[in-house]
Structure 1
Amino acid sequence: MSEHSPLDQLVAACHWIGAKGWAPATGGNMSVREDARFCLLSESGKDKGSLTRDDFIQVEIATNRAPSGRKPSAETGLHTLIYRLFPEAGAVLHTHTVNATVLSRVEKGSALRLAGYEMQKSLAGQRSHLDAVAIPLFDNDQDIDALARRIEAYAAETPFRYGFLLRGHGLTCWGQDVNEARRHLEGLEFLFECERQRRLLEAQ
């Protein structure tokens, strides 16, 4: 496997995420699509800032089954759902940041609406700050299968891109490849921080 393979790019992204403190206390999970049938998903309970290629488990997208018998993340079903819902998705990043977690609790609607920010253009297909970006927001659930069904039902009626928030939990985002997923994560985190600060200032 070359040093520039998608998995190596994902490992580097995990180290970057860990250095930023965006996946504390072994939280979060990351994956990359291997092919039409499989993805490679981070093993449960691992510190994301020190992951190696050996810490990723092959998982069947259609069934969530790990042929090796190793234990992937508890949220495996959300990663495989994204790969099924969005055939163009090549990598998925799930983080537990303060901005995403707090905003997901403050916002009471079904989506966090972002508008007026130049950095919206960090998201694929966004051309202007005049447009609005809606990031869906779902109530957290320890029953991942039930949560996945709710997200799937929402997507069938309200198409969305980039990512979604889980209330009190964090952000899950994706891209066509690791680099785009990483750009979406960084862009959304900047937007979330701006939105959080805006709401704080307006409340004073």
Structure 2
Amino acid sequence: MQNHAAKSALIETGHWISQRGWVPATGGNFSIRTDSGFVVTASGYHKGYLEPGHFLELCADGQITAGNGIPSAETALHLMLYQLSPNTECVLHTHSVAATTLSRFIGDDTLRIEGYEMQKSLRGIDSHLTPLHIAIFDNDQDIERLALRVADHHTTTPVVHGVLIRGHGLYAMGHSVAETRRHIEGLEFLFTCELERIKLEGTR
């Protein structure tokens, strides 16, 4: 994908995600793999009102080649996800209430979801009986250290659809922008269902 097409796709995606309340304030960051490297959102911009000047262009090794502004510190995690999964073409990081709250409520390092038809919205899952496992990592302001923890986890349990950062949000990934958007929408639905199930169980 050319850089200008990548920016257009992320502008439209940012508007779509913002309408659903998943990137409040200036939260979140987006990226797409391009023919020359990557396009990523610069830090400090509301993702519902992105413009072409709100992006940075990076070469394949992650060095900035064009654009103004400061790259998000979380760019290192985006680059690691691309490195771990060569077929990944898009990474979208969101801050929804469901993902943020559920990642804090679950004490384990993995969120296990099973029994929902919506699991089939995720690549490789063809039954509600197929368990979905989303890794949860403790938040860390040292993003490079966090990225290395994700990479270490990937050696034994490959990251396929994305990861949760505790108290922070979701990093979703896919083989295209469309697939990544589908993964976010499916995962957010599942996270919301799990929160509601937990609430209902607490009233029994």
1:103 matched to 2:95 = no
Return the offset for 1:61.
Answer: 4.1
1:57 match: 56
Counterpart-to-counterpart distance in 1, 2:173 and 2:49: 21
* Equivalent of residue 65 in structure 2, options 56, 67, 86: 67
TM (norm. structure 1) is 0.94
1:16 match: 16
Q: Where in structure 2 are there 5+ consecutive unaligned residues?
A: none
1:45 match: 44
The letter for the 1-side match of 2:142 is: D
What does 1:76-91 correspond to in 2, within 5 Å?
76-91=75-90
Counterpart-to-counterpart distance in 2, 1:71 and 1:186: 28
1:59 alignment partner, SS class: strand
Kept in 2, the 8 Å contact 1:6–1:177? The answer is no
Return the offset for 1:53.
Answer: 2.4
Return the offset for 1:134.
Answer: 0.2
2:188 match: 189
1:32 matched to 2:66 = no
What does 1:162-181 correspond to in 2, within 5 Å?
162-181=161-180
Number of matched pairs: 201
1:102 alignment partner, SS class: helix
Return the offset for 1:10.
Answer: 1.9
The letter for the 2-side match of 1:77 is: A
Counterpart-to-counterpart distance in 1, 2:121 and 2:165: 22
The letter for the 1-side match of 2:126 is: R
Counterpart-to-counterpart distance in 2, 1:38 and 1:167: 29
Counterpart-to-counterpart distance in 1, 2:117 and 2:50: 33
Return the offset for 1:60.
Answer: 3.1
Return the offset for 1:160.
Answer: 2.6
Moved beyond 2 Å, runs of 4+: 4-7, 67-70
Q: CA RMSD in A?
A: 1.7
Q: Where in structure 1 are there 5+ consecutive unaligned residues?
A: none
Kept in 2, the 8 Å contact 1:33–1:90? The answer is yes
1:103 alignment partner, SS class: helix
The letter for the 1-side match of 2:190 is: L
Return the offset for 1:56.
Answer: 1.3
1:146 alignment partner, SS class: helix
1:112 alignment partner, SS class: strand
